[in-house]
Amino acid sequence: MADVRAQLVTRVRGMLSEALGVTRTRLATADADLLEGRQRLERTRRAAAAVPDRVGAARDRRLAEIDARHTARLAELARRAAEAAGREAPGAASEPWDRWQATPAGRAEPPGAVRIGTVRIAGAEPVPALVPLLDAGHAHLAGGDREGLASVVPALLLRSVGRADPGAVRLYGYDPEHLGGGLAGFAPLGTAGLLTFVGPGGLGRLLDDLVEQIRRINATVLAGEYASLRELAAATGRRPEPWRVAVLLGGDELSRHERGQLDRVVRTGAACGVHLVVRGIDLPDDRTVTRIVVEEDDARIAGLPVVLDDPPPPALVTETCRAVASRVAAGPPPTPFTDLLPAPDEYWREDSAHGLSAPIGEGPHGRQVLLSLGDYPPHALIGGPSGTGKTNLIFAWIGALAARYSPAELEFYLLDFKEGVSFARFAKGRRDPSWLPHMRLVGINVNTDREFGLALLRFLAEELRRRADAAKRHEVTKLAELRAVDPAGHWPRIVAVVDEFQALLAGRDVVAREAADLLEDLARRGRSQGIHLVLASQDVRGIEALWGRPALVAQFTLRVALPKALRILAERNDAAQSLPRHHAVVNAESGLAEGNEVARIPSASDWETWSELQHRLWRMRPQDAAPARLFDGDAIPRLAEAPDFRALTAPEQGVPRNPVALLGEIIDVQSRSAALRLPRAPGRNLAVLGTRVDEACAVLDAAARSLARQYPPGTARFSLACLDPDADPAARALYEDLPGDASWYDEETVSELMAEVGDGLAAPGTPRTPHFLLLYAVDAAAGALAGKAGTRTGLEQLRRILHDGPERRTHVLAWWRGVARMRADLGGAGARTDQIGAWVALDVQGGELGSSLYPGSGGPDWYPRPWRGLYFDRAVHRTGQVIIPYGPSR
């Protein structure tokens, strides 16, 4: 029992010991948890105490970030606002006064708003404060700071004037308190009509005028197609009306009528370019009105505070206005030539059957002014003093027509009687191989060659006859009808332009009389057959030459008058006297005032402008197109280039029955050569008369070379006798180029030539070989020929050769240095001259050629000119024919 009890005690003690250990462990754990809890509590208390500081710091940091973003955003917005202001008001509209200068906007670019100060923004650059004015609205100034208000007005006006093209802004000043003193700096604009001062009591008339301008612009310029002038300019690239700015600086209370008119201008003026700058007069509330309030320490634009700029320096205002007035007085610059041209894909699309029509320039309202030629008006008269743009106008008209009508529809013939080569560009040249495909004839430097003008009129008269005959065959009367019934025929309209045409009508000689008759006939009948005349002159005498022929003047119903032109328009129509430069009055009603249209003529005559169009048209030319005939009165033609010379050929067998000697170029349209036919007939000899060595040698040289070209080698004989040392080089050059059987004679041997040829003519039969005697200065051999040459003297042999030679194939082509010398060699003053069938007179007066050399009495109307000769063949001509000797062949 005791053991059991001991065991139980031991077990109990073990259990109690174990329980105590467990309890102690749990207590230690609880103490550790308690300590950790207390530590966590302490940490929580410390963390809770740190939260307000952290939240405050985060809040401050967040607020700083927001403030930085706001400042950056504000600076960005200010920058963008400044850029927008720079775009809206560039250059003169916003530049500071210390570097300010006028910078006109483009033709279709509106000047926009103008700067009067800045808007200050904290932390950002100042932003320009702009006032929308031109094409935008009106400015109303109010407030108690009169000095500040007075500085705003010149800033608005100067920036507006400097931003627009010279003359594009017109000012109207109403200043009853200071009688215009508030706008004194702008007074220079008045000399160019750009500033009008309205006196006290004139406000009503000014407002009435502005309302009328608005009504007119709405009715005739905008005409329902556009909502405003700004929209029209953007769409067309043109601004047909100036801006009108009325500056109203106080005054009495407005009447009911004046108030009504002012309200109308406010409502409708901005769209029509009519604007108000008003101080001291109330304006109604309207979206177009910008209100500027200036107090002693505060200025606001539409409620926004601004810092006003200083006023512009008075000297800057005055100098700018003087420069603008000077530019306006000089006239506006011409518009671009391309304004007259259709789109490239529209070239040559027009039909000329019923007439020709093309723009010549821009009218006052931005619409093109047309020049038309047809049944009415049929012909045109252009006039204007030197330097007013007559040549440029002709270029512009030709270009506008040539771009619309193909060469099959239109042909040009151009003649310029003044000195110069500006029209030569229409023809093929060395500098530029292109030519205008429509051009058939270009005559330049013909001021001393009136015969060429007459030749053109004769050519047109022949063309008129040809067309009239065709119309009769087809039983029609007009060109349009002829083209309809004969579509395969070539019936283009012809426009003949004669510049300085009065040269044709000058004097009372046969050229003037025939030219006037041909002009009158062409003007009267040409309209129905599509032949139109355009006569131009810078000299009033040229116009006066027409007034003696009222039937001729009446046909020129289309009149174009350049600035200061006289006698172009009707007697009481003085519209041309006030024209600015680069403008013209176009009148299709014979010059009556009701037919006036003013056109602004583009610049078309400079080389680069015209060359671009001509090259484009040249590349479009038909494959068979030939360049225009160019006649230059100052140029000497070359025999080798003459079409008639190139056409000469030798027959394959025998010799030509009627050889032709070419003597020079005829002054005519077709570039023909003066030809002397040398058949076996009496009198077929040539005399060259005059003392000009080079020209006389040139005539004989061309005759010999053209004859030699028609004979195979060895089938013709040429004998040259040179009796003037000055002519020796030219004669020797010809001798060396002639066939090998040519013979050379001089003063010592010429008598032998006369004897040989004269005695040979006495032999029976006709020589088979033609013989041509080229005698240079034959009158110088009088002494050598006076002696015996066989049974006859040399002069007698010469007369025998002249008389009998042509029928025996022997022809004399001789140069005498005077008519009297030739008569002496032929037997004296009473000797017959019919053995000289043809002659070329050089420096010989027409009176010396009378009697037996020329039909009628008194001789031909001929006066000598350098490198010109009068050719007469009694077997062919009724009157003499002016020729140009061909230049040296070497």
Range in 79-88, 393-402, 683-692, 792-801 with the lowest mean pLDDT? 79-88
Enter the tokens of residue 882.
């002016």
Judged by DSSP in three states, 480 sits in: helix
> Over 80: is that where the pLDDT of 399 sits?
yes
The mean pLDDT of 57-83, rounded to a whole number, is 68
Max mean pLDDT among 98-102, 248-252, 725-729 falls in 725-729
> Over 60: is that where the pLDDT of 85 sits?
no
pLDDT-above-90 percentage for the chain: 41
Main-chain phi, psi angles of 836, to 5 degrees:
-95, 90
pLDDT-above-70 percentage for the chain: 92
Max mean pLDDT among 364-378, 430-444, 721-735 falls in 721-735
Confidence of residue 553 (pLDDT cuts 50, 70, 90): confident
> Over 80: is that where the pLDDT of 556 sits?
yes
Range in 575-589, 694-708, 731-745, 845-859 with the lowest mean pLDDT? 845-859
Q: In terms of pLDDT, which residue wins out, 334 or 854?
A: 854
CA-nearest of 447, 624, 635 to 537 is 447
Q: How far is CA 244 from CA 228, 265, 338, 607, 748, in A?
A: 14, 11, 29, 38, 93
Q: Starting at the earlier edge strand, list the strands of the sheet with 686-689.
A: 673-677, 660-666, 881-884, 869-873, 838-841, 686-689, 810-816, 771-776, 717-722, 743-745
Task: Judge contact between 813 and 700, C-beta under 8 A.
Answer: yes
State the maximum Cα–Cα separation within the chain, in Å, rounded to a whole number. 216
Range in 9-18, 257-266, 746-755, 809-818 with the lowest mean pLDDT? 9-18
The one-letter amino acid at 815: W
The one-letter amino acid at 432: D
State the pLDDT at residue 370.
93
Confidence of residue 87 (pLDDT cuts 50, 70, 90): low
Q: In terms of pLDDT, which residue wins out, 384 or 785?
A: 384
Q: Write out pLDDT tens, residues 343-356.
A: 999 999 999 999 99
Pairwise CA distance, residues 136 & 273, whole Å:
8
Q: How far is CA 47 from CA 39, 42, 55, 687, in A?
A: 12, 9, 12, 138
DSSP for 139-192, written as a single string? EEEESS-HHHHHHHHHHHHHHHHHHSPTTSEEEEEE-TTTTTGGGGGGGGGGGG
The mean pLDDT of 507-528, rounded to a whole number, is 87
Q: Which residue reads 């504000």 in tokens?
A: 74
> Over 60: is that where the pLDDT of 541 sits?
no
Pairwise CA distance, residues 556 & 533, whole Å:
8
State the pLDDT at residue 45.
80
Distance spanning both ends of the chain, measured CA to CA: 175
Q: Write out pLDDT tens, residues 132-183.
A: 888 889 999 888 777 777 788 898 888 888 888 888 899 998 988 877 777 8
Enter the tokens of residue 766.
């006709």
State the pLDDT at residue 211.
94
> Over 80: is that where the pLDDT of 78 sits?
no
Q: Exposed/middle/buried for 885, CB within 10 Å: 0-12, 13-18, 19+?
A: buried
State the pLDDT at residue 725.
93
Pairwise CA distance, residues 185 & 194, whole Å:
13
> Over 70: is that where the pLDDT of 209 sits?
yes
Max mean pLDDT among 510-524, 537-551, 675-689, 852-866 falls in 675-689
pLDDT, the chain, mean: 86
Q: Write out pLDDT tens, residues 212-253.
A: 999 999 998 888 889 998 888 888 777 888 899 999 988 778
DSSP for 524-570, written as a single string? HHGGGGTEEEEEEESSHHHHHHHHT-HHHHTT--EEEE-TT--SSS-
State the pLDDT at residue 129.
81
State the pLDDT at residue 1.
60
Q: In terms of pLDDT, which residue wins out, 539 or 357?
A: 357
**Which residues partner with 673 through β-bridges?**
665
State the pLDDT at residue 14.
83
State the pLDDT at residue 152.
86
State the pLDDT at residue 224.
85
Torsion angle of alpha carbons 211, 215, 221, 224, nearest 10°? 130
> Over 90: is that where the pLDDT of 655 sits?
no
State the pLDDT at residue 609.
80
The mean pLDDT of 606-612, rounded to a whole number, is 83
| pTM over 0.85, yes/no | no
Q: Write out pLDDT tens, residues 767-805.
A: 778 999 999 999 887 666 665 545 567 888 899 999 999
Q: Write out pLDDT tens, residues 3-33.
A: 788 888 888 888 888 888 888 888 888 888 8
Confidence of residue 889 (pLDDT cuts 50, 70, 90): low
Q: Write out pLDDT tens, residues 754-767.
A: 989 988 887 777 67
> Over 70: is that where the pLDDT of 544 sits?
no
Strand locations in 398-484 (E): 410-416, 439-444
> Over 70: is that where the pLDDT of 77 sits?
no
Positive or negative torsion for Cα 754, 756, 757, 759:
positive
